[in-house]
């Protein structure tokens, strides 16, 4: 029993330590890194280093882009997933089951495979270098649809929908007045999960954006791949670019984890 | 007299609209997903096959049809096989220990436990850290001269290991990053499955005097086998596509240029990174598309093998 707690505490330590250490490095001066033993507590240089980050890359623009991209993707995913989840969970139409199976199957398709033609498509649409290239392909995804289908088939009482029909609601009216209020808690979790993954997305933004109009992750990778190894600079950028998200996660952790685990059971 | 047909037609129009609403509107509700998937998922997939049969570069406007030439060139390309080996090596090193660890952690978290939420949040924190942050942080930790890991290892008499330089050491370093990010996530997936196992099975086993390890082996693992199969498949598909970690590791360890080659000696260039190098480094879209397809075949093959292995495995997975 005691061993169980000790093991879990050790694991929690190894989970948190690299993040803590990144703050330690980010708040020091480069010369401190050469010390033996290495510094293990934060220093006083954090804000000076953050200022250097803003001088080196367009970080303000990157933050604005990331908020815009992750925000609009999250709202769209919540809306379209609830809509499709409602149809799959509660409406009757021909081909429903096979369409749901196809939706789940698309989650298994390795996305990397299509990256070259996807890029060529963006060139054709003249979306390269713009946030359209990030937002439009991500407006809805299979995971969200499946997640909301699972939730609504469990949480949305069919009697409530029937009562709405008797009162003369159209399907759209039902969605607006009955489904959306019921879906809200799950949609909020889905929104947070989507926001985090959109915020953290790296490879596609790297391919399709230019370094002068980056997202946070692309800006961070520019910082990290300088020809001079300026770890302090890279980690200061990392700290301001990712730690707010980690903090939000720690705050809503319980709900988000509940969402992940519920989505997993039947996955 | 004349008002009556009008009323009928109005009612009929309303009933047509009602039928349309019932029969057709569901398709409109699921349409956004399917339209988007066709445009940005399915179409690129199919188009990859078409491009792979051509001499197709960004520099030239004409695309000559060359049949399977790109594929035969690939099969003779040593860099392609090097990338295949690296992908499999990093894949095994990062996935196998990770899944065993995740099952064990889920087992520890299962049941009555104080600070349950706190432990779960701590386990998932690495997963909400972006891949860029992970590699930047671990590149510092794995630094040759002033890295914390070499400092700790030096207590045990190890010399200054140049993690990025060697094939084995760089694969280990990358696997540690991948494991750090994904073990907790998979542990929670396993935990969700474990919580669905009926309690009384454990109670009976405890009465029979079975240790918790024995219970893990002979009750938990057989009961959550579908989840294990699922996680193994998803992890395999993910591991075969690893790209961001080696790309960033190369860039932060040896300056921007070495990124897409996966180190100066290509010691950690994965298949996906090879595709990236051909497509976006050399702008040879035809060759890169052919490599994408071979990568896809490799994904299907390895995932299939793992599926068969996991499904057949009897009780003792650990």
Partner residue facing B33 (CB), from A92, A110, A142: A142
For the residues B21-30, what does the mean pLDDT come to? Answer: 91
Q: Do B129 and A120 touch (CB under 8 A)?
A: no
Using pLDDT thresholds of 50, 70 and 90, give the confidence band for residue B1: very low
Return d(Cα A52, Cα A230) in angstroms, integer: 11
- Each residue's pLDDT tens digit, B131-189: 999 998 998 899 888 888 998 998 898 888 899 889 999 999 999 999 999 999 999 99
CATH number at residue A44: 1.10.3720.10
Q: Are strands B54-55 and B64-65 parallel, antiparallel or unpaired?
A: antiparallel
Q: What pLDDT, on a 0 to 100 scale, did the predictor assign at position B191? A: 93
Q: Which residues of B touch A114 (CB under 8 A)?
A: 41, 43-45, 47-48, 292
Q: Which residues of B touch A261 (CB under 8 A)?
A: 188-189, 191-192
How far does the CA of residue A267 sit from the closest CA of chain B (Å)? 8
Partner residue facing A118 (CB), from B44, B196, B243: B44
Sign for the pseudo-dihedral over CA of A13, A19, A22, A26? negative
Cβ neighbors of A233 (< 8 A, separation 6 or more) are A49, A52, A53, A56, A223, A226
- Record the tokens describing residue B56, joined without a space: 């197709």
Q: Where are the domains of chain B?
A: 3-52, 69-312
Q: What pLDDT, on a 0 to 100 scale, did the predictor assign at position A15? A: 93
Looking at per-residue confidence, does A44 or A111 come out higher?
A: A44
Beta carbons of B127 and B185 less than 8 angstroms apart:
yes
Mean of per-residue pLDDT scores for chain A: 90
Q: What pLDDT, on a 0 to 100 scale, did the predictor assign at position A14? A: 94
Mean of per-residue pLDDT scores for chain B: 88
Q: What pLDDT, on a 0 to 100 scale, did the predictor assign at position A246? A: 85
- Record the tokens describing residue A140, joined without a space: 């809805």
Determine the residue among A221, A228, A229, A234 to mutate to test chain B binding: the one whose Cβ has the most chain B Cβ atoms within 10 Å: A221
The closest of A68, A107, A100, A69 to A85, measured between CA atoms, is A100
Using pLDDT thresholds of 50, 70 and 90, give the confidence band for residue B318: very low
For the residues A155-177, what does the mean pLDDT come to? Answer: 92
Residue appearing with tokens 């996807």:
A118
Q: What pLDDT, on a 0 to 100 scale, did the predictor assign at position A267? A: 40
Domain count, chain A: 1
pLDDT tops 60 at residue B7:
yes
The closest of A267, A230, A237 to A54, measured between CA atoms, is A237
Beta carbons of B89 and B239 less than 8 angstroms apart:
no
How far does the CA of residue B1 sit from the closest CA of chain A (Å)? 29
pLDDT tops 90 at residue B257:
no
Q: What pLDDT, on a 0 to 100 scale, did the predictor assign at position B119? A: 92
Q: Which domain holds residue A254?
A: 2-265
Beta carbons of B95 and B106 less than 8 angstroms apart:
no
- Each residue's pLDDT tens digit, B112-140: 888 888 999 999 999 999 999 999 899 88
ipTM of the complex: 0.90
Measured in degrees and rounded to the nearest 5, phi and psi for residue B57 equal: -125, 160
pLDDT tops 70 at residue B3:
no
E-assigned strand segments in A110-250: none
Closest-CA residue of chain B to A137: B40
Three-class SS of residue A130?
Answer: coil
Architecture of domain B69-312: Orthogonal Bundle (1.10)
Beta carbons of A245 and A199 less than 8 angstroms apart:
yes
pLDDT tops 70 at residue A92:
yes
Q: Do B132 and A220 touch (CB under 8 A)?
A: yes
% of chain A beyond a pLDDT of 90: 65
- Each residue's pLDDT tens digit, A21-68: 999 989 988 887 777 778 888 988 899 999 999 988 999 999 999 999
% of chain B beyond a pLDDT of 70: 94
Query: Angle at CA A230, nearest 5°, toward A225 and A232?
Result: 120
Q: What pLDDT, on a 0 to 100 scale, did the predictor assign at position B254? A: 67
DSSP string, B34-71: HHHHIIIIIHHHHHHHHHHTEE-BTT-S--EE-TTHHH
Establish if A202 touches chain B: CB-CB under 8 angstroms: yes
- Record the tokens describing residue B90, joined without a space: 């990093």
Return d(Cα A260, Cα B193) in angstroms, integer: 12
- Each residue's pLDDT tens digit, A215-257: 999 999 888 876 666 888 989 999 998 888 888 888 888 888 8
How far does the CA of residue A7 sit from the closest CA of chain B (Å)? 9
Q: What pLDDT, on a 0 to 100 scale, did the predictor assign at position A128? A: 93
A3 class by beta-carbon count within 10 Å (0-12 exposed, 13-18 middle, 19+ buried): exposed
Q: Do A238 and B132 touch (CB under 8 A)?
A: yes
Q: Do A12 and B124 touch (CB under 8 A)?
A: no
- Record the tokens describing residue B256, joined without a space: 């921007």
Residues in chain A: 267
Dihedral in degrees, nearest 10, Cα atoms B132, A258, A14, A235: 30
For the residues A158-179, what does the mean pLDDT come to? Answer: 92
Using pLDDT thresholds of 50, 70 and 90, give the confidence band for residue B5: low
* Least confident among A241-245, B49-53, B303-307: A241-245
% of chain A beyond a pLDDT of 70: 96
- Each residue's pLDDT tens digit, B271-294: 999 999 999 988 999 999 999 999
Using pLDDT thresholds of 50, 70 and 90, give the confidence band for residue B101: very high
Q: What pLDDT, on a 0 to 100 scale, did the predictor assign at position A251? A: 84
Q: What pLDDT, on a 0 to 100 scale, did the predictor assign at position B89? A: 97
Beta carbons of B293 and B49 less than 8 angstroms apart:
yes
pLDDT tops 50 at residue A103:
yes
Q: Which of residues 181-200 of A touch B (CB under 8 A)?
A: 196, 199-200
pLDDT tops 70 at residue B316:
no
Return d(Cα B152, Cα B26) in angstroms, integer: 60
Q: Considering the entire predicted model, what is its pTM?
A: 0.90
Partner residue facing B48 (CB), from A12, A113, A254: A113
Three-class SS of residue B64?
Answer: strand
pLDDT tops 80 at residue B10:
no
Q: Do A22 and B133 touch (CB under 8 A)?
A: yes
* Least confident among A209-218, B87-96, B136-145: B136-145
Closest-CA residue of chain A to B177: A18
Looking at per-residue confidence, does B4 or A80 come out higher?
A: A80
Determine the residue among A23, A27, A114 to mutate to test chain B binding: the one whose Cβ has the most chain B Cβ atoms within 10 Å: A114
For the residues A212-217, what does the mean pLDDT come to? Answer: 94
């Amino acid at each position: 029993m005691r061993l169980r707690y000790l093991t879990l505490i050790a694991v929690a330590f190894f989970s948190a330590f690299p993040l803590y250490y990144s703050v330690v490095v980010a708040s020091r001066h480069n010369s401190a890194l050469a010390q033996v033993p290495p510094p293990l507590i934060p220093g006083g240089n954090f804000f000076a280093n953050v200022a250097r980050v803003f001088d080196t890359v367009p970080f303000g623009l990157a933050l604005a882009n990331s908020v815009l991209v992750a925000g609009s993707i999250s709202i769209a995913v919540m809306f379209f997933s609830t809509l499709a989840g409602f149809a799959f969970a509660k409406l009757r139409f021909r081909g429903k089951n096979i369409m749901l199976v196809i939706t789940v199957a698309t989650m298994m398709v390795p996305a990397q495979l299509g990256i070259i033609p996807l890029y060529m498509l963006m060139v054709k649409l003249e979306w390269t270098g713009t946030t359209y290239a990030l937002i439009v392909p991500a407006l809805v995804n299979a995971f969200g649809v499946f997640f909301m289908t699972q939730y609504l088939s469990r949480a949305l009482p069919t009697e409530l929908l029937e009562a709405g029909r008797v009162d003369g609601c159209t399907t759209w009216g039902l969605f607006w007045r009955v489904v959306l209020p019921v879906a809200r808690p799950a949609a909020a979790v889905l929104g947070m999960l989507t926001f985090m993954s959109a915020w953290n997305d790296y490879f596609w933004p790297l391919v399709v954006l230019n370094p002068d109009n980056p997202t946070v992750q692309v800006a961070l990778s520019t910082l990290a791949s300088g020809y001079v190894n300026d770890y302090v600079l890279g980690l200061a950028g990392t700290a301001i670019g990712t730690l707010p998200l980690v903090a939000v996660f720690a705050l809503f952790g319980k709900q988000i984890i509940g969402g992940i685990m519920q989505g997993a059971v039947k996955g | 007299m004349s008002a009556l047909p009008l009323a009928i037609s109005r009612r009929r129009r309303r009933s047509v609209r009602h039928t349309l609403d019932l029969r057709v509107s569901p398709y409109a509700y699921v349409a956004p997903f399917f339209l988007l998937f066709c445009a940005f998922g399915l179409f690129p997939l199919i188009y990859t096959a078409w491009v792979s049969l051509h001499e197709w570069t960004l520099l030239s406007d004409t695309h000559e049809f060359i049949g399977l030439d790109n594929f035969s060139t690939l099969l003779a390309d040593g860099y392609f096989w090097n990338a295949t080996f690296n992908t499999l090596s990093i894949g095994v090193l990062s996935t196998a220990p990770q899944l065993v660890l995740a099952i064990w952690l889920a087992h520890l978290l299962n049941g009555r436990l104080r600070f349950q939420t706190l432990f779960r949040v701590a386990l998932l924190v690495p997963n909400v850290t972006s891949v860029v942050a992970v590699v930047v942080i671990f590149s510092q930790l794995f630094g040759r001269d002033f890295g914390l890991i070499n400092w700790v290892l030096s207590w045990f008499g190890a010399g200054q290991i140049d993690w990025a330089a060697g094939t084995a050491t760089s694969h280990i370093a990358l696997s540690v990053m991948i494991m750090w990010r994904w073990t907790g996530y998979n542990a929670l997936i396993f935990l969700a499955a474990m919580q669905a196992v009926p309690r009384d099975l454990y109670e009976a086993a405890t009465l029979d005097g079975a240790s918790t390890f024995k219970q893990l082996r002979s009750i938990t693992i057989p009961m959550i086998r579908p989840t294990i199969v699922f996680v193994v498949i998803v992890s395999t598909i993910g591991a075969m596509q690893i790209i961001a970690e080696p790309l960033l590791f190369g860039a932060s360890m040896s300056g921007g240029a070495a990124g897409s080659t996966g180190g100066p000696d290509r010691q950690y260039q994965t298949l996906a990174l090879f595709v990236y190098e051909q497509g976006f480094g050399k702008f040879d879209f035809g060759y890169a598309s052919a490599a994408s397809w071979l990568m896809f075949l490799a994904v299907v093959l390895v995932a299939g093998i793992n599926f068969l292995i996991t499904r057949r495995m009897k009780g003792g997975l650990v």
